[in-house]
């Protein structure tokens, strides 16, 4: 964080002493600022229309899945809540990334454009506390509705004596959290780099489109058709967080990855089922952290408003 702790602009022994003292206080202040900023962002977002729409979408998805009787249907051997969760996570893969990107990319550049930074960053808040506090609040905002919708479905299933696959529930929760964090990080990086909301939204949409195009059914097909090395094809698949999520979600109901085709052998040989699930949770989360950290480096380096 660029704060007193790491600053070296002043000169002389007094400044060096002050810097050391500030460094000792910095972690506590960062934590306090982070908490204050996150709370403020949550309060503000809970009144925002985008959040109402977002929360309603995920709630409505689960309600619709119940209404259309997905818990009663039996497809590919799945019934009960397993079937609903499989469908829900497929829908989440389509909706969650673009929703997270479009709402997150506005956070830094939108505030900058609107003139919010000029005032709020004139208050004695550390830049680290400000940036990471907002990221934390956004994570809560995007993930809690998704989780609550799923938890609501599980609760309803328990009441209706429908069997709940808790291991599947836990794995999906981890995958969704990782995916949400990944796209939050990407969104914050784009938001820090962009100089206008329009550019940020265009870039976010482009990123999402590229990742969708690199899903196995589309661009990987083209890559194989053009006789690109299978190592490259698999590497592209493993680097695409959407594909990683999709494959892991598929693996949970199709452990042999029969639906994926021959590339399943590479994945299962290299990782194994448990190893791939760990990869599918850690890699997107790490990618999100790296992107968010890069966004923070950009944010603190330049002009704030």
Partner 1 sequence: MIEVERCSKSFRRTQVLDDVSLVIPAGERAALVGANGAGKTTLIRCLLGEYECDGAVRLGGESPRAFRTRVLRRVGFVPQIPPPLKMPVGSLIRFAADLCGTDPRKIGEVAARLGLDVAALAPRAFSKLSGGQKQKLLIAVALREGVDVMILDEPAANLDPEARASFFELLARRDHGTTMLISSHRLDEVAALVHRVVEMDRGRVVLDDRIADSDALDARLRCRLELRREEPSAARVLREWGFRPTEAGTVWQGSVAAADRLRFFGMLARYSGLVADLQLRAGDGSDA
Please report, as ranges, the residues that interact with partner 1 according to CB under 8 A: 3-4, 7-10, 18, 22, 29, 32-33, 36, 39-40, 43-44, 47-48, 114-127, 302-305
- Residue-wise over 163-185: b if at least 16 C-beta within 10 A, else e? ebbeebbebbebbbbbbbbbbbb
Q: List CB contacts of 6: < 8 A, sequence separation 6 or more.
A: 23
Rounded to a whole number of angstroms, the minimum distance from the CB of residue 243 to partner 1 is 37
For the bound state, the minimum distance from the C-beta of residue 138 to partner 1, rounded and expressed in Å, comes to: 15
- In angstroms, give the least distance from the CB of 5 to partner 1: 10
Distance, CA of 46 to CA of 141 (rounded, Å): 8
> In the complex, what is the shortest distance from the CB of residue 210 to partner 1, in angstroms, rounded to a whole number?
29
Max Cα distance, the chain (Å): 75
Which CB atom, from 23 or from 224, has the smaller least distance to partner 1?
A: 23
By beta-carbon proximity to partner 1, the closer residue of 46 and 259 is: 46
Contact 194, 114 (CB under 8 A): no
In whole angstroms, how close is the CB of 134 to partner 1 at the nearest point? Answer: 13
Q: d(Cα 271, Cα 67) in Å, to the nearest integer? A: 38
Residue 119 vs 229, nearer CB to partner 1: 119
DSSP state of 219: I
| For partner 1, the closer CB: 36 or 98 | 36
Phi, psi of 6 (to 5 degrees): -110, 5
Q: Which residue, 119 or 225, is less far from partner 1 as judged by CB?
A: 119
């Amino acid at each position: 964080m660029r704060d007193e702790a790491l600053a070296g602009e002043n000169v002389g022994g007094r400044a060096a002493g002050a810097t050391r003292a500030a460094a000792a206080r910095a972690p506590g202040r960062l934590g306090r600022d982070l908490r204050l900023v996150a709370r403020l962002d949550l309060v503000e977002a809970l009144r925002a229309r985008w959040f109402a729409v977002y929360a309603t979408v995920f709630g409505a998805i689960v309600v619709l899945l119940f209404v259309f009787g997905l818990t009663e249907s039996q497809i590919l051997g799945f019934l009960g809540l397993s079937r609903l969760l499989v469908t829900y996570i497929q829908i989440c893969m389509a909706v969650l990334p673009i929703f997270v990107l479009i709402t997150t990319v506005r956070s830094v550049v939108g505030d900058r454009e609107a003139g919010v930074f000029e005032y709020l960053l004139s208050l004695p808040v550390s830049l680290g506390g400000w940036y990471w506090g907002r990221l934390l609040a956004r994570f809560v905002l995007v993930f809690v509705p998704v989780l609550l919708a799923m938890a609501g479905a599980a609760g309803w299933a328990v009441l209706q004596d429908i069997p709940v696959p808790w291991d599947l529930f836990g794995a999906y929760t981890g995958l969704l959290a990782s995916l949400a964090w990944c796209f939050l990080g990407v969104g914050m990086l784009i938001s820090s780099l962009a100089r206008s909301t329009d550019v940020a939204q265009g870039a976010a949409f482009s990123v999402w489109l590229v990742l969708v195009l690199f899903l196995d059914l589309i661009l990987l097909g083209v890559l194989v058709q053009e006789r690109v090395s299978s190592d490259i094809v698999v590497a592209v698949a493993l680097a695409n967080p959407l594909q990683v999520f999709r494959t892991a979600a598929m693996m949970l109901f199709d452990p042999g990855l029969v639906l994926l085709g021959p590339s399943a052998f590479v994945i299962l040989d290299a990782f194994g089922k448990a190893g791939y699930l760990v990869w599918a949770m850690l890699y997107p989360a790490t990618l999100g952290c790296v992107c968010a950290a890069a966004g923070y480096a950009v944010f603190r380096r330049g002009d704030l408003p």
